[in-house]
Structure 1
């Protein structure tokens, strides 16, 4: 049985990807509960361990946002929300990005202050099974144990995020894949303390904090741009989505269409398309317009809806990216 996003039924591939992504999100939360507890028990006064612990806490945000967003995105359109609730994905992405940015900025300040103040974090001995052990070894063991699973989870989530066109899941996967750097940075900082390099711990904490801040800036930029109705882009947010060109090419290939231009709004998992076409002669009948519309919607599951508008000439104010350089005389934009 396919899950539903608004009034768009997911194809089986996407429905299965959603089920797997949901299981991975719950698995990530369960792992983080264990990992956060373990790191808290051994972190002592190390700035690097503190930064790693805070990052683990922040790692709860993306999977929780994903689960909440998916739940809301399934709701049907209402009179108050005629486009459905797909934007919940964008809201979840914005929440995750804002949280990462705010905490990353604070941690950069906190770690940088510790480095400038030349703080010397003590890492003494602790007793394990009746034997005195340098406290750095349990810290390192905790980082190894908590650093490997997120990388595997991130690699499993990444293709699902692309299949579902889900930026919250993508941000979560990207953070998970980079967790090995956090673990490695913490280990280097702890070993630096053991070697008598007092600054290594704060430097490692600053490195981890900068990584969190970078993730926050990247996700905040992409989430804000999408919510401001920027041109539909890939899930990474760094290139126009190829579906935009495919829709234009399909419309331009219709025999009675002289010119076609589209603007595509990314609603979250799905797109809303507004297509403007210039007929070669008389405007075709309603049956033909409906057929063309249905053909375009059938191109890809992400085309949730399409508004097809016959016009005398393509509206430059609505389609500012349309190339007018090679148009025949008399068809230029006003």
Structure 2
């Protein structure tokens, strides 16, 4: 009886509660109109499509100005100043992909000029950190994979034999991804050719260690493919004298004397720009006379014999004859 009296008083004194309860019951009892059912999915789909069309925000004007200035300095071979600007950008935008991978490349370039292994290692370590941060942002980016491979390749020159072979195995996927994602990057083709040639010429102890400890020699080592990769790099950047020197040395050691002479002749026409270019130019000039003398002797002894054709500049093109590994040139 008390419950009934309390319920009546509640309904009399607070009628708005009845309206609320009645409205809720009505909304549950009456089904939605057909037009409402058709309209609801369109209303929900709009917010879902909005994030997909969200554009990546552009760099602030100050950051863009620093990036432009850094690229200009790098093209002028002022690597230290360019690196400082990229580092300044990373203080503002720590995850800036362009600044990260270019800072890695510049760090390797600067570190390679030092003869002191401590300084060299410090720059190579910094390059590795920049490159790995770029790789986290774009795991399959051509630039990030090139930066990682470049840092690993140069770090390996400071390692002991076992660690060096491990580094060569680890950078394989990076060097291939770099050329696949950025086939227009000549430095990536140069690095791929260097790696392929180095792996192709593992000595006996290196091969045994790789098979017993590392699970096998990395796939892809080939002198023929290495020379094809260097040909591709030269095709993309014909004025790079370092590419000429690397290719000429490979051709020389593989018995392709005539092609080595052709490349060195072309290197003579390239004016050196930096001090590194001047050193490489001198090495090219020193390599040429012995090759010319050996070619002249070979021509006198075998006037009717022609040298084997050079490799195709396209890695996917026709394959040249098998390599003559271990063949020594006459001097």
- Does the TM-score normalized on the shorter chain lie above 0.5? no
Q: If you compute each CA radius of gyration, which structure gives the higher value, 1 or 2?
A: 2
> Which has the larger share of helix?
2
> Which has the larger share of strand?
1
Query: What range is the shorter-chain TM-score in?
Result: under 0.3
**Whose RCO is larger (CA < 8 A, sep 6+)?**
1
TM-score for the superposition, normalised by structure 1? 0.26
